[in-house]
Chain A
């Protein structure tokens, strides 16, 4: 009697475990599935025209029936410039705001700043894009037409990256042990030196990890960019020229793309996945090492 009851319990547990293991296995396989499907769809383009022609072709004319052209260098440059610009602007803004919150301000202001950053983190990218279109683009247009430009993309993206970089930096600054600050205070070391000689070097890995996460977000960002960048496939000569990024290109053309064109778009999707996973893996590596130390 007792035996059979414990058996039925065990069976219940065993079924539950099977079910849960299935859920875990499915979750684990999803990544593989995504990579496999995107790769499978991109394969025709990787064979013909092949990756080399993505760079060597001079224009992007994938729908041309006789001689399709797959030059996406301007879009690669567009993605790179937008990402680089936004990271360069967002990093100091995020770093200095966090330093103020941590070392220079009252608790209330630090609290307010953190809440604002969290709020900004939750704003949908399409709202950033729309705001950029109706507020920033007209301002840039008044300064230097046409308005929808590389600059507009960089500014909107900067705003989106600030919370990502700042929240990661804040977390790593807070992880610096308090005793070190007390010792520094006991030695009469000034605040400026505490910030730049103690806190920032100790939190450096976490900060770089935050910047890498920001870069990953920037590379993959689509909606805000497609709305404010103007989307003309060209090498930008200045900050005021419209550009098209890889992500914007997918969003704009996937709706009507077929065969070779479609495969080329999937190949760019594969490239996006690769780039952003490299950034994220780099961030993860830095964080793990910091944990070990």
Chain B
């Protein structure tokens, strides 16, 4: 009997504190996204998206910066996706699940996922820029980001493959279908959602990254002529405008709005795909 009022008081207190927390989280998130998009989108126009930055970025647009961003991301995905998917396929389909190498590789990828991005920047600077003599370049930046998103690609692809029912593998083996054929026509198509979600999440993380790029792909705003040219990505552009360019605020807002919209599209697409995949899975089980 005595616990009844106390519980009611705890309930009321929790409710009040909880709604306050929800209000703070929603309000501040809305404030952030609203002010970036509100200030930024008025500046965004076709010419902003296609012209070169002028006067250290105070004027002009972000055309060349967008090209560099696309190139860095292409290098990153071009390396991380085949490597990561290949590794996940081996871990899931070829290696014995409880064997030592599998445990070691998965543990080491977990560790890799915990490395702060600035440390990837240090690593990329030494290995790609200096040892491999790529200099400050789009290639070096892309390779550094590839190392960073590799664990994400491996983990999601692995999860996708593990969710494929074993009947498919047994059926393929019973029909004497070779493992490569089974992979191409059965397992990878069945796990495609996992792969795509992993690639999208990796793309989102890579596009958001700044710290790993300032010492690898550099700050140059010219139109890159090859992958060995330095080129700044949108996130590096925002950083440079915020830190080093007095009067760059308006353009920084606009660049931030563009980056935020791009990431919104990528992340929402990944979430929708993952959601559909999950529903598909549960529908099949029930």
Whether A119 pairs with B18 at a CB distance below 8 angstroms is: no
User: What's the Cα separation between A126 and B234 when bound, in Å?
Assistant: 10
User: What's the Cα separation between A96 and B36 when bound, in Å?
Assistant: 27
Nearest-CB residue, chain B, relative to A105: B22
Whether B108 pairs with A32 at a CB distance below 8 angstroms is: yes
Q: Which residues of A contact B260 (CB under 8 A)?
A: 123-124, 127
- Given A19-B86, A28-B108, A227-B243, does the pair A37, B127 have CB atoms closer than 8 Å? yes
Q: Which residues of B contact A166 (CB under 8 A)?
A: 25
Interface check B45, CB cutoff 8 A? no
Nearest-CB residue, chain B, relative to A278: B114
B: interface residue count bin: 35 or more
Interface check A216, CB cutoff 8 A? yes
- Stretch from A50-58, A68-76, A203-211, A265-273 forming part of the interface with B: A265-273
User: What's the Cα separation between A262 and B274 when bound, in Å?
Assistant: 43
Q: Which residues of B contact A122 (CB under 8 A)?
A: 204, 208, 263-264, 266-267
Chain A 71-128 interface residues, beta-carbon cutoff 8 Å to B: 92-97, 99-101, 104-105, 109, 112-113, 116-120, 122-128
Interface check B278, CB cutoff 8 A? no
Q: Which residues of A contact B13 (CB under 8 A)?
A: 192
Interchain Cβ contacts within 8 Å, total number: 279
Whether A251 pairs with B22 at a CB distance below 8 angstroms is: no
Give the contacting residue for A34; candidates B36, B147, B180, B204; CB below 8 A. B147
Chain B 103-131 interface residues, beta-carbon cutoff 8 Å to A: 104-105, 108-123, 125-127
Interface check B277, CB cutoff 8 A? no
Shortest beta-carbon distance from A9 to chain B in Å: 4
Interface check A176, CB cutoff 8 A? no
Shortest beta-carbon distance from B170 to chain A in Å: 17
Whether A93 pairs with B215 at a CB distance below 8 angstroms is: no
Whether A93 pairs with B21 at a CB distance below 8 angstroms is: yes
Whether B95 pairs with A127 at a CB distance below 8 angstroms is: no
Interface check A177, CB cutoff 8 A? no
Give the contacting residue for B122; candidates A117, A118, A127, A254; CB below 8 A. A254
Whether B115 pairs with A273 at a CB distance below 8 angstroms is: yes
Whether A24 pairs with B90 at a CB distance below 8 angstroms is: yes
Whether B108 pairs with A31 at a CB distance below 8 angstroms is: yes
Whether B87 pairs with A192 at a CB distance below 8 angstroms is: no
Whether A24 pairs with B249 at a CB distance below 8 angstroms is: no
Interface check B28, CB cutoff 8 A? yes
Interface check A60, CB cutoff 8 A? no
Whether A128 pairs with B32 at a CB distance below 8 angstroms is: yes
Interface check B282, CB cutoff 8 A? no
Whether A116 pairs with B32 at a CB distance below 8 angstroms is: no
Nearest-CB residue, chain B, relative to A158: B28
- Stretch from B1-9, B54-62, B223-231 forming part of the interface with A: B1-9
User: What's the Cα separation between A117 and B21 when bound, in Å?
Assistant: 13
Interface check A141, CB cutoff 8 A? no
Shortest beta-carbon distance from A257 to chain B in Å: 10
User: What's the Cα separation between A119 and B30 when bound, in Å?
Assistant: 11
Whether A133 pairs with B114 at a CB distance below 8 angstroms is: no
Give the contacting residue for B109; candidates A31, A104, A119, A134; CB below 8 A. A31
Whether A113 pairs with B116 at a CB distance below 8 angstroms is: no
- Given A123-B260, A193-B7, does the pair A280, B19 have CB atoms closer than 8 Å? no
User: What's the Cα separation between A24 and B88 when bound, in Å?
Assistant: 7
Query: Max chain A CB contacts within 10 Å: which of B31, B82, B87, B183?
Result: B87
- Given A16-B179, A31-B108, A280-B110, does the pair A130, B116 have CB atoms closer than 8 Å? no
Whether B147 pairs with A127 at a CB distance below 8 angstroms is: no
Q: Which residues of B contact A195 (CB under 8 A)?
A: 10-11, 14
Q: Which residues of B contact A6 (CB under 8 A)?
A: 176
Known A-B contacts: A104-B14, A123-B33, A130-B238. Give 20 more (CB < 8 A). A17-B94, A23-B90, A24-B86, A24-B95, A27-B83, A27-B84, A27-B109, A28-B87, A28-B101, A34-B115, A93-B21, A99-B14, A100-B22, A125-B208, A126-B235, A127-B235, A134-B253, A135-B31, A272-B118, A284-B110
Q: Which residues of B contact A (CB under 8 A)?
A: 3-4, 7-15, 17-22, 24-26, 28-29, 31-33, 35-36, 82-84, 86-87, 89-91, 94-95, 101, 104-105, 108-123, 125-127, 147, 150, 154, 176, 178-180, 183, 204, 207-211, 214-215, 235-236, 238-239, 242-243, 249, 252-253, 256, 259-260, 263-264, 266-267, 271
What are 23 of the A-B contact pairs (CB < 8 Å)? Answer: A16-B180, A21-B94, A23-B86, A28-B104, A30-B112, A93-B21, A95-B21, A117-B25, A119-B267, A122-B267, A127-B32, A127-B235, A130-B238, A159-B29, A159-B32, A190-B8, A190-B10, A196-B14, A250-B118, A255-B214, A269-B119, A272-B118, A280-B110
Q: Which residues of A contact B (CB under 8 A)?
A: 6, 9-10, 12-13, 16-17, 19-34, 37-38, 41, 92-97, 99-101, 104-105, 109, 112-113, 116-120, 122-131, 133-135, 159, 162, 166, 189-193, 195-196, 216, 219-223, 226-227, 247, 250-251, 254-255, 265-266, 269, 272-273, 276-277, 279-281, 284
By Cβ-Cβ distance, the 8 closest A-B pairs, closest first, are A220-B116, A23-B86, A192-B11, A192-B10, A124-B208, A96-B21, A280-B114, A28-B105
